[in-house]
Amino acid sequence: MANLTNNKSILDWIGEKVELVTPDNIVWIDGSEEQLEALRAEACQTGEMIKLNEEKLPGCYLHRTKPNDVARVEDRTLICTPTEEEAGPTNHWKEPSECYKMLYDIARGTYKGRTMYVIPYSMGPIDSPFAKFGIELTDSIYVVLNMAIMTRVGKAVLDKIGDSDEWIRGFHAKCDVDPEKRWIVQFPQDNTIISVNSAYGGNVLLGKKCFALRIASYLGRNEGWMAEHMLILGIENPQGETKYVCAAFPSACGKTNLAMLIPPEGYRKKGYKVFTVGDDISWLNIGPDGRLYAINPENGFFGVAPGTNEKSNFNALESTKKNTIFTDVCHNLEDNTVWWEGLTKDRPVKADDWKGNPWPLDSKEKGAHPNSRFTAPTVNCPCLSPEFENPQGVPISAIVFGGRRAKLAPLVYQSRDWNHGVFVGSAMASETTAAAAGAVGVVRSDPMAMLPFCGYNMADYWGHWIEMGKKLGDKAPKIFNVNWFRKDSEGNFMWPGFGDNLRVLDWIIARCDGKVDAKETEIGYVPYAEDINIEGLEGEVSIDSLNEMLSVDKELWVEDTKRIQELYDKFNGRVPAELVECHETLKKNVQ
Ligand code: GTP
Ligand code: SPV
Ligand code: MN
């Protein structure tokens, strides 16, 4: 097939990789529907994908990964900066030249009998001044089809790149999907990503976590912007004014759900509306008016399937009704559709589980993997923001941090100022989830929900946040922390969550507008219970339990300051003084 560009840096790089992996064919992804349709047909023929019921789920497919390959692998994710210090104590590191050698030895010859797909893609609307471009090489049709949903792919991207060598090199090889030889590697100084022996999600859709967070966070520090693991949503009030909020929660902690929330009935009746700009990643730049603006660099949603239903997230479910790829969900054989835990009360009687085995009615196993996902085009989302394609992005009023904390963190609180907000982000912790391989439910530090995604030394990343705050001055968004996951003594969630989270966002916006008072506590500003609107929640949330959710248990906080200290100690004095000072204040306050 003819080259789609004359760009020498691209052709040379592809040439090197062709020599290394020796594919039978090379196919350039031009972005045309005909080409993608042919690839879908091919993937169905080889069994890589299953075509689902065309009436009920038009254009939808099911894909199963190997059971050893169902989530990101954080201990096999490397940041290969020239020195270990640059990667910092929270990243895994290997010396770059040794690492290239290791990866090339693993990948050598593995495209034999396979096709090399060349995917030119854009992160961000192609004509946005903030868009960045990449090329991913892969031997997986599944990767091509996912990238075609998650990003803007095709010839137009190559035209944009032109003769430039400013593009991100992404090289993926499935190899034997051997977990012992699986590596997801970022070389920030070389604008390069290499992924071997996986075929799952964030490990292989290189535009997503590898580029849009790890490489982009590094670029952002050098260029004066930020790449964050944040959703972006707009809230329109009854007067027709829209305010935008970014929120960073760790993986599988509620970003997609919050981004697409449906206002509770009382709010809907008053005329409140919520719009989704993004559900996972924000690129934040300072605009000409000095405010912080966010674009969503992605073009699709790679969302957690389990728990998604008409009631919990109607908009996400709607988004998956056409042109969607489902990964590791249960196959409903009654009507050739899909199912996952929480979709409906009853499971399908006749079904294959996520591994493709018959799923007997008395099975104790799950039908869908807990980290099973849908890859859905953003255009499918009923509440997609009209600003989604705005090349300048949307102005951000508030930044919200949050995680799963059964006890400690109150439902919501506000930081005292920007630097204290950066401290609150740096001190985040959350119970681990199925989004990454390893134990689930263990509290671990996850600063800014970026622990697995920061492409350089996390202490320097905090320093960059402090610098951004200086540039933004009094135009900086206000910073908050939320916790939808507080549990009572019986282990039940105390807050109903989902759509009702708008009640908390309502308070946050009111704080940004200076329209509501708050109580100054040891940890920051906490709402007066009566300022959280619980109208319509009768029987679910009382003022008493709200007060409990908003309480600060000093003993628990003393424990938490020890965890923060342990985290900070890892950085050998590199943590910005502003954050150390906030931590000292917290220690004194909760003593
Ligand atoms: P990634 O795509 O991995 O980054 O995850 P995410 O942050 O987008 O998480 P998502 O919205 O997919 O939610 C993950 C899980 O959290 C789902 O099982 C939801 O049911 C659950 N969840 C989301 N929001 C809430 C909430 O407000 N309350 C409770 N109790 N659970 C929630
Ligand atoms: C996450 O784990 O935060 C995800 C899914 O959004 S993945 O693309 O696999 O990283
Ligand atoms: Mn995510």
Active site amino acids: 253
Q: If you count them, how many residues does the chain have?
A: 591
Atom from ligand 2 closest to the CA of residue 209 = 10
Task: Tell whether ligand 2 has an atom less than 6 A from the beta carbon of residue 226.
Answer: no
217: left (phi over 0), alpha (psi -120 to 50) or beta: alpha
Residues 529-551: tens digit of each pLDDT:
999 999 999 889 999 999 999 99
First to last CA, the chain: 69
Ligand 2 pocket: which of 208, 214, 327, 450 to mutate (most atoms within 8 A of CB): 208
Q: List domains and CATH numbers for the chain.
A: 8-30+75-223 (3.40.449.10), 228-296+388-552 (3.90.228.20), 300-380 (2.170.8.10)
Give the integer Cα–Cα distance in Å for 353 and 289: 53
At 460, phi and psi to the nearest 5? -70, -35
CA 299 to chain centre: 13
Give the integer Cα–Cα distance in Å for 481 and 586: 15
Rounded to the nearest angstrom, the distance between the alpha carbon of 405 and the centre of ligand 2 is 20
Q: With cut-offs at 50, 70 and 90, classify the pLDDT of residue 1.
A: confident
Q: Is the dihedral of CA 100, 106, 112, 116 positive or negative?
A: negative
Backbone Cα Rg of the chain: 23
Three-class secondary structure of residue 537 per DSSP:
coil
b/e map of 92-119 (b: 16 or more CB within 10 Å)? Answer: bbbebeebbebbbebbeebbeebbbbbb
Q: Is the dihedral of CA 433, 439, 441, 445 positive or negative?
A: negative
Rounded to the nearest angstrom, the distance between the alpha carbon of 118 and the centre of ligand 1 is 33
CA 201 to chain centre: 11
Rounded to the nearest angstrom, the distance between the alpha carbon of 252 and the centre of ligand 3 is 7
**pLDDT value for 173:** 98
Give the integer Cα–Cα distance in Å for 330 and 579: 46
* In contact, 328 and 341? CB cutoff 8 Å: no
- What's the mean pLDDT when you consider all of the chain? 97
Q: Provide the Cα torsion 235, 238, 242, 243; round to 10°.
A: -60
Share of the chain above pLDDT 70, in %: 100
* In contact, 417 and 472? CB cutoff 8 Å: no
* In contact, 456 and 78? CB cutoff 8 Å: no
Q: What share of the chain is helix, strand, coil (3-state, %, to 5)?
A: 35, 25, 45
Q: What lines the ligand 1 site, CB under 6 Å?
A: 249, 251-257, 279-280, 303-304, 306-307, 312, 435, 484-485, 493, 497-498, 501
Residues 547-566: tens digit of each pLDDT:
999 999 999 999 999 999 99
Give the integer Cα–Cα distance in Å for 201 and 270: 40
Residues 500-523: tens digit of each pLDDT:
999 999 999 999 999 999 999 999
Residues 361-374: tens digit of each pLDDT:
999 999 999 999 99
Task: Tell whether ligand 2 has an atom less than 6 A from the beta carbon of residue 209.
Answer: yes
Report the DSSP pairing between strands 25-28 and 115-123: parallel
- Average confidence (pLDDT) over 483-503: 95
Residues 142-160: tens digit of each pLDDT:
999 999 999 999 999 999 9
Q: Provide the Cα torsion 547, 550, 555, 557; round to 10°.
A: 180
Ligand 2 pocket: which of 151, 280, 328, 430 to mutate (most atoms within 8 A of CB): 280
Burial of 535 (0-12, 13-18, 19+ CB in 10 A): exposed
Q: By C-alpha distance, which of 377, 380, 345, 351 is closest to 363? A: 351
Three-class secondary structure of residue 326 per DSSP:
strand
- Average confidence (pLDDT) over 189-207: 98
Q: With cut-offs at 50, 70 and 90, classify the pLDDT of residue 2.
A: confident
Q: What is the DSSP letter of 175?
A: T
Residues 241-270: tens digit of each pLDDT:
999 999 999 999 999 999 999 999 999 999
**pLDDT value for 539:** 86
Report the DSSP pairing between strands 300-304 and 373-377: antiparallel
CA 142 to chain centre: 20
Task: Tell whether ligand 2 has an atom less than 6 A from the beta carbon of residue 302.
Answer: yes
Ligand 2 pocket: which of 143, 214, 251 to mutate (most atoms within 8 A of CB): 251
Residues 343-395: tens digit of each pLDDT:
999 999 999 999 999 999 999 999 999 999 999 999 999 999 999 999 999 99
Give the integer Cα–Cα distance in Å for 350 and 352: 7
**pLDDT value for 538:** 85
Q: Hey, how many other C-beta atoms are within 10 angstroms of the C-beta on 552? A: 18
Question: Which-ligand-closest: CA of 430?
Answer: 1
Q: How many CA atoms lie within 13 A of 342 on its CB side?
A: 16
